[in-house]
Amino acid sequence: MPLPNSTEGATPGRAQAPPTLLPRYLALAYTALIVYASLHPFSDWRDPGLSPFSFLDAAWPRYWTVFDLTTNVLAYLPLGFLLTLALRHLPGRWTPAFAGWLFGALISFCLESLQTWLPSRVPSNLDLASNSIGAGIGVLFAIWHGGRFFSQVALMQQRLLAPIPHSEPGLVLIALWLLTQLSPETILFGAGDLRHLLEITPALPYAAPSFFAIETGIIICNTVAIGLITRTLLADHNSSYLALAAFFLLALSIRTLSAAILVDPSHAFVWLTPGAGLGMMIGSAMLLLMLLLPVAWRISLAGLALMAGTVLVNLTPPNPYSAVALATWRQGHFLNFNGLTRLTASFWPFFALPYLTIIGRRI
């Protein structure tokens, strides 16, 4: 079965959307996440005196679980799916599918080989096999449903998104921001904390009044920044405000579910502190007023709010709850996932600011 292009499957008589570049950007972002999750924590590299390819002919691993196998398959399924669609313009009927599977398996092979020099990781031929199987399943989904799926995505982009340049990278940025809400130990909506990466001790000691003030400021700044960025991507129609409200509701739902699942059900709404409540109220009121401004002003204010929120995050006193939550959800199978979400949260503002600069110059 040939891999359809992004406009195939559209309803006859309706205007077809232009091909979307979203699969390409999603494939790049997802590959970066896979690389980081596979090599986390990127420390204590050493030479064990073994060939990086010795795992290929090793015996069946002594320690393995069904959970690990399932995770390895599922982690590479989206990668095979996205790579195949990103390469759909290659010549030949089956070339995109074969290239998508080959690149997925090659990425897994390279990462398993690099794990030879990481003492906290164990390269495994079983992991390579399960990753390759997952990529292959993703390729099959791309062949069967990928073109039709992204043709609908392209039509939705045409209806819902503003006609601005580089809207697809903006969608990827928003999706990555939603990923950061899976870290229950961080301040609500907070991003850009580099202290754990640079091993910097917090400048301010913990005290309830100062933590309340800074937490409120962080949530105000980030509510304004994320709201303005999201609104810039949305087309001008009556449902844009409803879509914006639904977006924030989705973010809070992700935060609630992550705390309930990864920490404890009793901690599901711990994020709803007095500072969070006040910050969301003030931030929402400011956001509604700023949405009345011209687009260029909104982009500038989004950048200022993002920078202010990042500075405040790095001034936040250590929160005792954060340490408890981090220690709890690092246990078991979530260590690498924790590193992934924390890294995304740390660097997200530093990807968003250049994006705002680029689209600000084009509008």
Both tokens of residue 115?
């794990």
pLDDT tens digit sequence for 270-295: 888 899 999 999 999 999 999 999 98
pLDDT of residue 325: 58
Best-predicted range by mean pLDDT (20-29, 92-101, 258-267): 92-101
| Tokens coding 62 | 């002594």
pTM of the model: 0.76
Contact yes or no for 113/52 (Cβ under 8 A): yes
Residue 14 pLDDT: 40
Work out the number of other CB atoms within 10 angstroms of the CB of residue 331.
Answer: 10
Predicted pLDDT at 326? 57
Ramachandran assignment for 8, one of left (phi > 0), alpha (psi -120 to 50 degrees), beta (any other): beta
Lowest mean pLDDT among 3-17, 180-194, 313-327, 329-343: 3-17
Q: Whole-angstrom Cα distance, residue 66 to residue 14? A: 47
246-260 burial: b if 16+ Cβ within 10 Å, else e: ebbeebbeebbebbb
**Residue 303: pLDDT over 90:** yes
The whole-angstrom separation of Cα 315 and Cα 195 is 9
Spatial distance between the Cα atoms of 278 and 284, rounded to a whole number of angstroms? 10
| Spatial CB neighbours of 255, under 8 Å, sequence gap ≥ 6 | 181, 182, 184, 188, 271
- Residue 161 main-chain phi, psi, to 5 deg: -95, 150
Which range, 123-127, 194-198, 263-267, 349-353, has the best average confidence (pLDDT)?
349-353
Looking at residue 319, what DSSP letter applies? Answer: P
For residue 317, cis peptide bond before it (omega within 30 degrees of 0)? no
CA-closest candidate to residue 157, choices 170, 145, 138, 144: 170
pLDDT digits (tens, 9 = 90+) for 244-259: 999 999 999 999 988 8
pLDDT at 8: 41
Q: What is the pLDDT of residue 333?
A: 47
279: CB partners within 8 A, 6+ apart: 188, 215, 216, 217, 218, 219, 220, 223
Hey, what are 217's tokens?
Answer: 């400021």
- Which tokens hold the place of 98? 């074969």
Query: Which of 115-129, 170-184, 256-270, 305-319 shows the lowest per-residue confidence on average (mean pLDDT)?
Result: 256-270
